[in-house]
A and B are shown apart, each in its own frame.
Chain A
Amino acid sequence: MVGPHAILLRVPPADDARAVRRAVVRQAMSVAVATGVYGISFGALAVAAGLDLAQTVALSLLMFTGGSQFAFIGVVGSGGAPVAAVATAGLLGARNALYGAVMAPLVRTPGLRGLAAAHVTIDESVAVANAQPDPPTARLGFWWTGVGVFVLWNAFTVLGAVVGDALGDPTRWGLDAAAAAAFLGLLWPRLGGRAAQGVAAGAVVVALLLTPVAPAGIPVLAAALVAVLAGWRTPPTPTLGRRARPRADEARPGPEGVPSA
């Protein structure tokens, strides 16, 4: 009898490597679809905030970092000064500098390709890259996710802006909850160590405590200070960077965060 195990054993290593690459691309695509689709809510909310189609499209094309884009239209929509909108978006985008520093050794290329790498350095591309076991697959995950999100995020931004009025309130469709779930999905696999769990809990508390008193965007940034303090003090622990390897066919970004300590 040829059971499943016998079939598995017959797969040669070359096919195995191809299968791993296919799994990475599949994971990248599922993250790109999940992320890109809530570009609809951005497009719709941007138009509702008073931006026109061209401005909305420009934000997704040129800024291309979701948190900052939402922050920007939030300030504009509530009548905030353009300067305040710029400052808030810029502060919320500060984490991308850290992502860039983590990705730089992987995707260090000169010229336009290097600029493109910087542009698609976002939560999702970095998370998928970090989920991979070695540099070649990490690079694959970074580019497929980054470009995939870019294409779909922009396409769905246009869609959202155009049909936003017809759709009505995006919260009716639960898109705001979907965004929260997406962040949780990115966070979940990084909670393997005691330090990470403590920092996540501290970040939640700090962000919620500051929300009523600080301008939009500041609570999230202030929460990062929790991590700086904790990371500076705690010695490296063996659990911090260790992963429980997920099945390769699952979209499960960022099991261990950035390179293990």
Chain B
Amino acid sequence: MTPYTATWLAVLAASAVCFATKLAGHRVPQHWLAQPRVARVASLVTVALLGALVAVQAFTTGDAVVLDARAAALAAAAVALALRAPFVVVVVLAAVVAAGLRALS
């Protein structure tokens, strides 16, 4: 098998896994969700994953924890969110801050 074919197989297999995961979630028995504990855990899991994704996206490069222009951009985004700025404004502001800082340095 050529590396190209192997990559294609991996693309298709990973896509299948991800779709199966989504579908499995939709087919979970309803009564599992009736428990307040499950709803509470699900709610907090969302918070935890988003928090971790913020951290990983903003403060890591590969396997290193780094502090760079993204941190300043994230701080600007946080201020914008605190001021109730629309989502699009928050996202664009972060890009502008990061790009600006990188252009200056």
Question: Which positions in A face B, CB cutoff 8 Å?
Answer: 30-31, 33-34, 38, 50-51, 55, 58-59, 62-65, 67-68, 72, 76, 78, 82-83, 85-86, 89-90, 93-105, 107-108, 114-115, 117-119, 121, 123, 126, 171-188, 190-191, 195-196, 199-204, 206-208, 211-213, 216, 219-220, 223-224, 226-228, 230-232, 234, 236, 240-241, 246-247, 250-254, 256-261
By a CB distance below 8 angstroms, the chain B residues around A83 are 10
- Contacts A100-B22, A251-B87 given; does A181 touch B43 at CB 8 Å: no
A30 adjacent to B87 (CB under 8 Å): yes
Which residues on A sit within 8 Å (CB–CB) of B84? 246-247, 250, 252
Dominant SS at the B interface?
Answer: helix
Report whether B17 and A204 are in contact in the complex, using a CB–CB cutoff of 8 Å: no
| Chain B residues, Cβ within 8 Å of A176 | 57, 70, 98
Q: Which of B15, B25, B94, B95 contacts A101 (CB 8 A)?
A: B25
- Our pick among B18, B43, B81, B86 for the contact of A258 (Cβ within 8 Å) is B43
**Which residues in window 24-57 of B have CB below 8 A to A?**
24-28, 30, 32-33, 36-37, 39-57
Task: Give the docked Cα–Cα distance between A97 and B41 (Å).
Answer: 13
Number of contacting residues on B, CB 8 A? 77
Given contacts A76-B10, A178-B92, A187-B50, contact A96 B25 (CB under 8 A): yes
The answer on a CB contact under 8 Å between A196 and B47 is: yes
What are 28 residue pairs bridging A and B, where the CB atoms are less than 8 Å apart in the complex?
A: A31-B87, A55-B7, A62-B11, A89-B18, A95-B46, A100-B23, A103-B25, A104-B27, A104-B30, A107-B26, A117-B26, A118-B26, A121-B25, A174-B99, A175-B95, A181-B93, A182-B91, A184-B90, A185-B91, A188-B81, A199-B47, A200-B48, A207-B51, A208-B56, A208-B65, A220-B49, A224-B45, A252-B87
